[in-house]
């Protein structure tokens, strides 16, 4: 049931390989740094409470990362497009892009660290920030060489047609 839910959210389980606890209905996504070190995780409970922000037992999302450190989700996708990487706020936003064959990293924050810009520079790729149309999105936009703002929905909740339209100009 959890695996089917994640697939319905466009997550490629073979590429991203989350740890699934079907009994507790929890998916765990590992977070990595640029050196390939495991530095944290994010848990996702589809039936969790959105109001229980970052609660490890009740919340829809719970994120843990070693402090101070940079942590992102999606490092396994970097081989998909060698000259371009998309930057998003959340896992399911990035999953919509990796599903289409693009490299995408999720920063898992509405307030990315200032060290993120230096870290992204080490990738030696064009960075496109895909941002929600809010204050957090405007913060994320500063970390890309280019920013694309979603109109009304998160990328993860957009239709296939909306995602295809967004990606049209980035296809080779």
Residue 133, number of CB atoms within 10 A of its CB: 13
Q: Which domains does the chain have, with CATH numbers?
A: 2-65 (no CATH), 75-170 (3.40.1360.10)
Per-residue model confidence (pLDDT) at position 110: 66
- Grouping H, G, I as helix, E, B as strand and the rest as coil, residue 62 is strand
* pLDDT tens over the chain, length 172 residues: 999 999 999 999 999 999 999 999 999 999 998 788 999 999 999 999 887 677 788 889 999 988 777 889 999 999 999 899 999 999 999 999 999 999 999 998 766 777 888 889 888 999 999 999 888 899 999 999 999 999 877 898 898 898 998 899 888 6
Cα gap 89→170, rounded to integer Å:
19
CA atoms within 13 A of residue 94's CA, in its CB half-sphere? 25
Our CA dihedral for 116, 59, 8, 95, rounded to 10 degrees, sits at 0
Summary count for the chain: helices (H), strands (E): 6, 8
């Amino acid at each position: 049931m959890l695996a089917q839910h994640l697939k319905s959210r466009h997550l490629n389980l073979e590429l991203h390989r989350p740890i699934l606890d079907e009994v507790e209905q929890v998916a765990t996504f590992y977070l990595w740094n640029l050196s390939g070190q495991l530095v944290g995780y994010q848990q996702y409970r589809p039936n969790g409470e959105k109001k229980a922000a970052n609660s490890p037992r009740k919340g829809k999302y719970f994120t843990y990362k070693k402090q101070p450190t940079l942590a992102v989700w999606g490092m396994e996708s970097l081989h998909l497009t060698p000259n371009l990487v998309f930057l998003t706020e959340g896992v399911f936003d990035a999953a919509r892009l990796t599903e289409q064959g693009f490299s995408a990293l999720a920063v898992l924050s509405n307030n990315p660290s200032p060290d993120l810009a230096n870290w992204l520079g080490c990738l030696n790729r064009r960075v496109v920030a895909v941002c929600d149309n809010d204050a957090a999105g405007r913060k994320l936009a500063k970390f890309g060489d280019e920013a694309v703002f979603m109109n009304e929905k998160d990328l993860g909740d957009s239709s296939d047609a909306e995602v295809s339209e967004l990606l049209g100009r980035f296809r080779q």
